[in-house]
Chain A
Amino acid sequence: MTYMAIPNIGNYTIALATAVESLGIKAWASTATTPEALKLGIAAAPETVCLPLKAHLGHFIEADRAGVEYAFMVNSVGTCRLRYYRHMIEHILKDLGLKIKIFGLGFDGFKPPIVRHFDPGPITFLKPLFHTALKIKVIDKLEVAAWRTRAIEITHGDTTLLMNKLLVELSESKTMARTRAIRKKVAGCFAEIPVDKEKKPLKVGLVGEISFLRDKCLNKNIEYILGSQGIELRNFFLLGEELKNITRIVFLNQNKRKYLSKVADRYLQCTVGGHALDSVAHSIHCADEGYDGMIHLCPSGCMPEVSVRPILKRVSKDKDIPILEMSYDEHTCDVGISTRLEAFADVLMERRKKQPARPSRGEGN
């Protein structure tokens, strides 16, 4: 059996695996970078590159050790370091004498080389793609439900258990019909978790660099930590949404980016690169919607995200919304993170007590 390593994009890796299997090969992946992979990456990469690259690289090295022959990753896109990831990773892997072959996935022609290589034939190829899209939608739904429920669950861990159970089911689902069935039962399953309906949880938005928004290992499980502190989250990385943006750019040329630019216009008149514009726009948006606070995640030294920090600070002052800046490097430890998050939650709680009626708290949607 041929295996292909796919990059970790959090729980969405499950959906991506389905796409890879459409090529008639097996997917080698995990829903979070493993600490071992991260260690391998850190050891092999130049010291000054950013952490997501090290995680990526480590993942591939680990794959190669496990005997995986192929891997794929995004091609050169964007204005920041991401554009050079593939070049650098390929070089390092070659220097290490590893044989794993990397396919780039980007807009280079109708049939990307990866499809040409495995040539699965159109029918076997297209159907799983729809299945992938469906799975992505289900995962979006799961994530959203989990952020809400975790904050008000009565027994700690219920939500996470349920989430994991459903994710396993989803990854085992081989047919569209089963996936649809899972989608149907999501809402019901989450409704069964005993919750404290009276509780008005703090609402916090997560923005920043995407690998940190989605990878539990990199962000030190921030969603879980915050959720179990009774904080309702909104993580601004939902793959379904992102994909919608991309297709809209291609087909309708009327995308969310434009809307975001408009929201951020008073503070930032440039798209910067990465998700920096999103960070600013979402922060403004959340402030207007009455969120209690924002958390901005990025790897230390991240070019686009760090460069908008002064702007986020201004937003925070103007709109009176606390924004916590978190940056991660390889020395960041779990304890440090949870301490900072706890302190932040305390601050938000104090603020809530002082001004109990923050405007327009969107109930239940």
Chain B
Amino acid sequence: MIMIKRLHKSVGVYIDMGNQFLKNISPEWMWKSGHYSGSSLRIGIPRMFFYYIYPDLWETFFGELGMEPVVSRPSTRKTVEKASQISETEHCLPNKLFDAHLAEVVGKVDMVFVPRVLSTIKNHLSCPKFGPLPDAARADIARGTEVLSIDIDENKRPLSKTLLLLGKKLNIQKSKTLSAIKSAFIAMESANKKMVLLNKKKGKPRFLLVGHPYVIHDNFIAGPILSKLESMGVEVELISFADDTPAKSYILWSTANKIYHKLNTLSSEDYDGVIQLTVFNCGCDSMMIDTYRQLVKDKNVPYMYLMVDEHLAQSGIDTRVEAFIDSLRWRG
């Protein structure tokens, strides 16, 4: 019992004790490490992966619970430089950026939030790289900081249940959690709507940008392309991932299947071209790109493929985008 009393003052002492008893009675992060300072806890959210998969959800949820969410700043060249210093060299670019974003919030907050996103829609799976994210964070970059984590697995329970569980982990009243979930879902819905269109210009050529949500919305990866397209005055639609009911196909990865579904139902009336944005070392895309390309080609829609790596240069992107758009003009 003495242990439990001391637990509330400073849990840090019990790191690595592996005490099964403590593990059973306290929230997961409590026995991991760190300290619990009541409601105005600062929680760090890396601006990558789940931040874009569930837009606005996390800030709203934690905010409503009375915590102070601290989101890392949008990626810049600096983020990439940091990433290449601290991250595993063979990670895909988003995973490297994730590490840099995580490092940015660690130290500024009381705990960081890294969920284990195993599946975002029923009967689908996420990229296998999402599985060990919280463990990798604990092992390396977020070591010494509390890592708050929860399994997001739609095959087991819907997101609302997951959030309820998260509230329970944080020792928060159920009613409070419930109302936080409600606001969070509303926020996510409106964010999802906002995320789709870049600039609406009647009568201009219209392009569809496809890629993983955290790729097409990341400032470093997609920023240069979007700004180039904007300066050329074309209308760009960013693929939306809000619809959770893509038709079943042979693809089990949720994002890939959503993209597949979108391209499969594409009509050449709607778009003047499809721009595929992918990142260096992305395993999922490496298997899918050929299928996507074929789908778009069969629809007779022009297709461009852009791969972004750490050494992305605006000039290179500019030339490619210009060439693509010019070629469409000649196509007539």
A contact patch SS: loop
> Given A79, A271, A304, A306, which contacts B91 in the complex, CB threshold below 8 Å?
A306
Instruction: Check B128 against A272 for contact (C-beta < 8 Å).
Output: yes
Q: A301-B281, A303-B129, A306-B90 are in contact. Are A269 and B286 (CB under 8 A)?
A: no
Encode contact with B along A252-274: 1 for CB under 8 Å, 0 otherwise.
00000000000000111111111
Question: B135 to chain A: which residues have CB within 8 Å?
Answer: 267-270, 308, 311
Tell me if B139 and A267 are in contact (CB < 8 A): yes
Contacting chain B: which of A46-54, A59-67, A182-190, A284-292?
Answer: A46-54
Given the complex, which residues of B lie within 8 Å of A49, measured CB to CB?
Answer: 286-287
**Residue with the highest number of chain B CB atoms closer than 10 Å, among A76, A83, A274, A306:** A306
Residues of B contacting A46 in the complex (Cβ-Cβ under 8 angstroms): 286, 289-290
Residue of B with least CB distance to A303:
B283
CA distance A46 to B136 in the complex (A): 30
Q: Are A303 and B127 in contact (CB under 8 A)?
A: yes
Cβ–Cβ contact B132 & A307, under 8 A: yes
The proximity string for A residues 68-98 relative to B, scoring 1 for CB distances below 8 Å and 0 otherwise, is 0000000010011101100110010000000
The contact size tier of chain A is 35 or more
Interface centre among A84, A88, A276, A300 (most CB of B within 10 A): A84
* Chain B residues, CB < 8 A from A83: 252
CB pair A276 B127 closer than 8 Å? no
Instruction: Decide if A304 touches B128 in the complex (CB within 8 Å).
Output: yes
- Contact with A91, one of B92, B131, B290 (Cβ below 8 angstroms): B290
A206 to chain B, nearest CB (A): 19
State how many angstroms separate the Cβ of A169 from the closest Cβ of chain B: 41
- By the criterion CB–CB under 8 Å, are A307 and B287 in contact? no
B127: nearest chain-A partner, CB-CB: A303
B290 to chain A, nearest CB (A): 6
Please give, as numbers and ranges, the residues of chain B lying within 8 Å of A220 by CB-CB distance.
none
Shortest Cβ gap from A311 to chain B (Å): 5
Asked if A273 and B131 sit within 8 Å, CB to CB, the answer is yes
Q: Is the interface of B mostly helix, strand, loop or mixed?
A: mixed
Q: A48-B286, A88-B287, A306-B90 are in contact. Are A270 and B116 (CB under 8 A)?
A: yes
Using a CB-CB cutoff of 8 Å, which residues 110-136 of chain B contact chain A? Answer: 116, 118, 125, 127-129, 131-136
Would you give the shortest CB distance from B33 to chain A, in whole angstroms?
Answer: 13
A228 at the interface (CB under 8 A from B): no
Per-residue CB contact flags for chain B residues 77-117 toward chain A (1 = under 8 Å, else 0) read 00000000000101110010000000000000000000010
Pairwise interchain contact A314-B139, C-beta atoms closer than 8 A = yes
The chain B residue with its CB closest to the CB of A264 is B135
Question: Does chain B have a CB within 8 A of A26?
Answer: no
B68 interface hit (Cβ, 8 Å)? no
On whether the beta carbons of A303 and B128 are closer than 8 Å, the reply is: yes
Q: Contact check, A307 vs B116: say whether CB atoms are below 8 A apart.
A: no
Contact with B along A283-321 (1 / 0, CB 8 A): 000000000000000001111101111110110000000
Q: Does A327 contact B (CB under 8 A)?
A: yes
Please give, as numbers and ranges, the residues of chain B lying within 8 Å of A310 by CB-CB distance. 88, 136, 139-141
Known: A272-B128, A303-B129, A307-B128. A81 touches B286 (CB 8 A): yes
**Judging by beta carbons under 8 Å apart, are B131 and A272 in contact?**
yes
User: What is the distance, in angstroms, from A307's C-beta to the closest C-beta of chain B?
Assistant: 4
**A302 — which chain B residues lie within 8 A by C-beta?**
283
CA distance A107 to B267 in the complex (A): 37
Closest chain A residue to B28, Cβ basis:
A269
Chain B min CB distance to A296 (Å): 12
B131, A307: Cβ atoms under 8 Å? yes
Minimum Cβ distance to chain A for residue B23 (Å): 11
Which chain B residues in 262-287 approach chain A with CB under 8 Å? 281-287
Question: Taking the nearest CB of chain B, how far is it from the CB of A46, in angstroms?
Answer: 6
| A79:B125 contact, CB within 8 angstroms | yes
| Nearest-CB residue, chain B, relative to A312 | B139
Cα-based distance from A80 to B128 in the complex (angstroms): 6
Q: Which of A50, A81, A301, A311 contacts B132 (CB 8 A)?
A: A311
Type the 1/0 row for B285-300, where 1 means its CB is closer than 8 Å to any CB of A: 1111110000000000
- Chain B residues with CB below 8 A from A270, complex form: 116, 118, 131-132, 135
User: Other than the known A48-B289, A272-B132, A303-B128, what 13 A-B pairs have Cβ atoms closer than 8 Å?
Assistant: A48-B282, A48-B286, A49-B286, A76-B250, A272-B131, A273-B128, A300-B90, A301-B283, A302-B283, A306-B88, A306-B91, A307-B132, A311-B132
Instruction: List 16 interface pairs A-B (beta carbons < 8 Å), by A numbering.
Output: A46-B290, A48-B281, A48-B289, A76-B250, A80-B283, A81-B283, A268-B135, A269-B116, A273-B128, A276-B132, A300-B90, A303-B128, A306-B91, A307-B131, A311-B132, A313-B139
B residues at A contact (CB < 8 Å):
18, 88, 90-92, 95, 116, 118, 125, 127-129, 131-136, 139-141, 143, 250-252, 281-290
Top 3 A-B pairs ranked by shortest CB distance? A314-B139, A48-B286, A273-B128
